[in-house]
């Protein structure tokens, strides 16, 4: 069928077209099916439907496909039904618990990278791997396919250090301290991070408060060689490009399936040529890892996958039942981390966790002797070398190196929540804290988030503030308050939890 092209200047992240339902019926396609769109070249696009936006005889072409067709633009295109790509059919095999071959896994990853899989198919891929875990071989191929479908960095000098957290604990801003500590000690650390997956601010969201985070692989190499380290967004590079496309699906589903998590992290490490990696595995209620047994199993899986890919991996099982530090949300977290860099002023949980992990890296990189890494990391914070390095990193990425914690802008609207009674913080719900920060606007609104005045186990007096919610927009703050009041993330109780009388009145 010949259809007249109607450009639609909206980016949808996929090759997509809109057909009038009359033409779609004629072609025998329904929403989510594919059509071949042919002018001088032939491309497959996913079909959307409309009753009125596009009249019969025309085809709406979204931005990405327009860009492709633009090379040899024509007024009309030939449109024919196309079959689903092989990668879409392979996802069904995972649902049926069949083991995929290396080629099949590569086919799926190519389908993700070249945008030929729809969001529905991608979410089926995520969901099926959540239900049916991939085997060790499949996970290795998934990781390798993610590395091979993107750019790689080869450094001339080694070792290359790297660090990654599996996420899942709110307020985990430690990379902002670890990267400068490690780089200040002469090691190279080209740190790529994802944006928030299950949280309210990933390291990429945080660093973006201070400097741009979108760079090509060659820029990352150059910047790392210049100042020793970077803090960039994995999705802004062409490094493991499938990763961010999968994370975009995981984010609304709030899931991070085991094998996806392994591949997502290790592909980014493999692509930058990391030699030594420390993994932070937060554990406890409300995290991705409920208990130490599961934490040890994940550690073994990460270590084994690292071995298969030629990296030495050490894992740190860390306390995750409470947030790290006292802030959740990009700008608030950056300000808290910056205060530690500036003056060592800050929560012990943040300083201790950051220096323990940085210390492990200094030992793995041969800069500190066994058992002395944390002391050196602490020293690097105290003597201001980490702050100096952080400023160099900010500058090389195009931010303002003169920035101080006082310059960081927090959302102008805020409200405090108060303790209803004297007592102790008996329960503290990490997931609810994240939810409230997200409703307040985090991570997209950098100034949104939550400050935690009282953590689990701490004593509190009636009417003392327990949380402050910040937002850039009044209406988002109102929604966040409503959500917090409906289901409080914190339970305050006196030492007496409940008095059970001898006889209960029925």
Ligand X SMILES: O=P(O)(O)OC[C@H]1O[C@H](OP(=O)(O)O)[C@H](O)[C@@H]1O
Contact residues toward ligand CYT (CB under 6 A) are: 164, 166-167, 194, 197, 256, 261, 264-265
257 binds, among ligand X, ligand CYT, none (CB under 5 to 8 A by kind): none
Considering only residues 186 to 205 of the shown chain, the ones binding ligand X according to CB under 6 A are 193-194, 196-199, 202-204
Residues making up the binding site:
168, 194-199, 203, 264, 288
x/- binding map, residues 108-147, to ligand X, per CB under 6 A? ----------------------------------------
CB burial of 230-266 (b: ≥16 within 10 Å; e: otherwise) equals: bbbbbbbbbbbbbbbbbbebbbeeebbbbbbbbbbbb
Considering only residues 154 to 183 of the shown chain, the ones binding ligand X according to CB under 6 A are 164-165, 167-168, 175
Q: Which is nearer to ligand X, 34 or 326 (CB)?
A: 326
Residues making up the binding site for AMP:
168, 194-199, 203, 264, 288
Q: Which is nearer to ligand X, 199 or 273 (CB)?
A: 199
- At residue 281, what are phi and psi to the nearest 5 degrees? -120, 90
| Catalytic pick among 23, 33, 162, 256 | 256
Q: Which two tokens stand for residue 498?
A: 């409940």
Give the H or E element holding residue 436. Answer: helix 430-439
168 binds, among ligand CYT, ligand X, none (CB under 5 to 8 A by kind): ligand X
261 binds, among ligand CYT, ligand X, none (CB under 5 to 8 A by kind): ligand CYT
Angstrom distance (rounded) from CA 221 to CA 275? 15
DSSP-assigned letters across all residues of 123-188: HHHHHHHHHSPPPHHHHHHHHHHHHHTS-----SSSPBEEEEE---STT-TTHHHHHHHHHHTT-B
| Residue with the two structure tokens 């618990």 | 97
Q: Which two tokens stand for residue 480?
A: 């966040």
148 is catalytic: no
Q: Which is nearer to ligand X, 408 or 434 (CB)?
A: 434
**Are β-strands 490-493 and 423-428 bridged in parallel, bridged antiparallel, or unpaired?**
antiparallel
Q: How many CB atoms lie within 10 A of CB 165?
A: 25
264 binds, among ligand CYT, ligand X, none (CB under 5 to 8 A by kind): ligand CYT
| Residue with the two structure tokens 């967004």 | 233
Considering only residues 213 to 272 of the shown chain, the ones binding ligand X according to CB under 6 A are 256
**Residue 325 in contact with ligand X, rule: CB under 6 A:** no
CB of 462 to ligand X, least distance (A): 33
* Residues designated as active site: 256
Binding site for ligand X (CB under 6 A): 164-165, 167-168, 175, 193-194, 196-199, 202-204, 256
């Amino acid at each position: 069928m010949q259809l007249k092209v109607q450009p639609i200047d909206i980016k949808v992240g996929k090759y997509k077209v809109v057909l009038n339902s009359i033409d779609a019926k004629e072609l025998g396609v329904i929403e989510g099916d594919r059509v071949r769109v042919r002018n001088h070249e032939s491309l497959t696009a996913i079909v959307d439907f409309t009753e009125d936006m596009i009249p019969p005889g025309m085809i709406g072409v979204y931005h990405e496909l327009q860009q492709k067709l633009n090379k040899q633009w024509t007024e009309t295109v030939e449109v024919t039904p196309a079959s689903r790509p092989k990668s879409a059919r392979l996802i069904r095999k995972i649902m049926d618990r069949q083991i995929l071959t290396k080629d099949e896994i590569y086919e799926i990853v190519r389908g993700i990278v070249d945008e030929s899989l729809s969001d529905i198919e991608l979410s089926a891929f995520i969901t099926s791997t959540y239900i049916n875990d991939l085997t060790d071989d499949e996970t290795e191929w998934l990781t390798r396919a993610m590395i091979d479908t993107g750019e790689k960095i080869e450094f001339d000098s080694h070792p290359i250090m790297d660090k990654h957290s599996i996420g899942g604990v709110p307020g985990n801003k430690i990379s902002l301290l670890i990267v400068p500590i490690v780089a200040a000690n002469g090691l190279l650390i080209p740190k790529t991070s994802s944006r928030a997956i299950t949280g309210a601010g990933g390291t990429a969201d945080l660093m973006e408060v201070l400097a741009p985070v979108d760079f090509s692989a060659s820029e990352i190499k150059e910047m790392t060689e210049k100042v020793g380290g970077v803090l960039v967004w994995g999705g802004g590079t062409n490094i493991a490009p499938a990763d961010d496309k999968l994370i975009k699906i995981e984010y609304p589903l709030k899931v991070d399936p085991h094998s996806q998590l392994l591949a997502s992290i290790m592909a980014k490490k493999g692509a930058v040529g990391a030699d030594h990696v420390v993994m932070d595995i937060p554990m406890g209620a409300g995290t991705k890892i409920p208990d130490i047994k599961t934490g040890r199993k994940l550690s073994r899986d990460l270590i084994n996958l690292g071995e298969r890919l030629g990296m030495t991996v050490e894992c740190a099982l860390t306390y995750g039942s409470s947030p790290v530090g006292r802030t959740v949300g990009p700008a608030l977290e950056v300000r808290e981390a910056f205060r530690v860099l500036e003056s060592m002023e800050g929560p012990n949980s943040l300083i201790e966790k950051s220096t323990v992990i940085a210390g492990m890296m200094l030992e793995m990189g041969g800069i500190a002797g066994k058992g002395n890494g944390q002391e050196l990391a602490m020293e690097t914070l105290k003597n201001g070398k980490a702050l100096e390095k952080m400023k160099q990193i900010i500058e090389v990425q195009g931010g303002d190196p003169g920035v101080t914690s006082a310059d960081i802008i927090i959302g102008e609207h805020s409200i405090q929540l108060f303790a209803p009674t004297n007592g102790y913080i008996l329960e503290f719900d990490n997931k609810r804290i994240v939810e409230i920060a997200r409703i307040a606007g985090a991570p997209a609104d950098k100034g949104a988030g939550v400050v935690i005045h009282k953590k689990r186990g701490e004593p509190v007096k009636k009417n003392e503030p327990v949380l402050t919610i910040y937002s850039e927009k009044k209406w988002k703050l109102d929604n966040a308050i409503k959500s917090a009041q409906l289901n409080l993330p914190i339970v305050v109780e006196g030492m007496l939890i409940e008095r059970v009388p001898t006889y209960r009145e029925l």
